[in-house]
Structure 1
Amino acid sequence: MSRLAAVLGHPVSHSKSPAMHRAAYALLGEDIDYSAIDVTEAGLPALMQQVAAEPAWCGLSVTMPLKTAVIAEVHEVRGVAGVLGVVNTVAFEGTGSNARRIAYNTDVEGIVSAVRYAGVGEPAQAVVIGGGATSAAAVAALSAVGARAVQVFVRDTGRATDARAAAGALGISLDVRPLSGAAQAVAGADVVISTLPPRAADGLAGELEQLQPATPGVLLDVAYDPWPSRIAGTWSAGGGTVVPGLEMLLYQAVEQVRLFTGRGEDVNAAVIDVMCDAVGLPRRAY
């Protein structure tokens, strides 16, 4: 019997996760049926009850707006997810009614691998745009690549709770500022991670276009549909390096495949390459 896995979120029809996961499981010879399930925070408890009653489940990928709500639906939170209070992965340990739901955060590794692949070392000036759940993973990832301080630009400075909590837990200096007027700091940063939803960074892109500054750093825009985003196009025109959100999605999915299958070392470069093929990313150059 096939095992089951899925990505949960709202909306989720645009997700590229099914294509990546299915390609990986096909190459690995794993009989895992991976789907996309559209579910809101209100509907999550009922869905998780259904999942708990079905012994075939082996994993869940969790996207917005469920990254904190899902914590109430698991048995244990491990690793950096416990530090951040933000989850994007639930792996099942054991079988049948005895299976335990274990929560992780692979977004941090996804961001770290994506920006390192783009050549980011130890950034002197690091910026995060947006203050939601993904911003916590962005702060943690920037800390992991050597940033000692991070500027976070948000529309409402009172709503950067996740980023502040992450910085406090990790001991990294955080400066939260309003998104309005962020263009100069953003343009001068070594690395910028935009965690805003699709098109939400268009206003900032317009400011950058008017200023016409050089943007020699690296921009990771986690929103990948539609692509290229306006801010990605503006950044590239200013001479900077753009990392599409699909790169982050790829690397966080690699970690999920390892957790869902329990085959860590088998999820190698060949598996990563077929996952790239599935979503139109270039194969890796190792």
Structure 2
Amino acid sequence: MTIEVGNVSRAFGGRDALVDVTVVLGGGLTAVIGPNGSGKTTLLRLLATTERADRGSVRVSGHDTSDPSGRLAVRRALGYLTQTESLPLRMTVHQYVEYVAVLKEIEPRAWRLAEVARCIDTVGLGGRMHDRIRNLSGGMRRRVGLAQALLGNPALLILDEPDAALDPETRRLMLADLAERSRNSTVVVSTHHTGDIGRWCDRIVVLSGGRIRFTGPPGHLRDLARGRVWRAAEPDPEAWHCWQDSPTTWRCVGASAPDGVGAEPTLDDGYLTALWSPRATRP
């Protein structure tokens, strides 16, 4: 499914959440990254048809989401995990996921039950499916939300911080599964974890202040920082950003590295360059 966002703006209480956002997302896995308050959740809500834009258009596989029939068509193809999933704590894992399967009109019942069990197993909760949700840890509850989003193998999967509260191994397995799913569907995830996301995704969108600062393959984002990264014995006042990466050295990102001390850029360096450089915009 192809997602086309054209000149979209959205404000809440006089504060701009998105400003003239234009982006086209094809199939595969897209990671949306950015600081807190950058507009990630608002963008994903627009794609999932739970928010309406003040200006601009959102089209998914040609369906205009401002039109009721277009929204319905998108929702029938959608699996969605919100940033803060509100779960019925008295229900068991199986009861809740089956409830969502009924809402998604997964019939007949035999197929629905098999699909519910499959999705619960996929997120590693097969042994806990008859436990009440209130007895699960935060990470397990997050996986319950992911299980309901996977029902029916949706053609469009939108996940808002699905890795929140997950342990590193569970997160790695989840990303590997999403990358595999994205071969036959469109998957959009938001995350605060930039370190290894480039291994799994096809493209990255960087948001800051409600505006797109970069969109493109992970390698292109990393290359934004080429020639802009260096190490120093102390923070460099000329750098945009410095952080201590060992007991004796600081890693710095700025307009250009001093002669002879440049370092190979990482995806994190490219991300910081996209946020800070006035020239870092989408290709």
Question: Structures share a fold, TM > 0.5?
Answer: no
Higher helix share: 1
What TM-score bracket applies, with the shorter chain setting the length? under 0.3
Highest relative contact order (Cα 8 Å, sep 6+), 1 or 2?
2
Higher strand share: 2
TM-score, structure 1 as length reference: 0.28
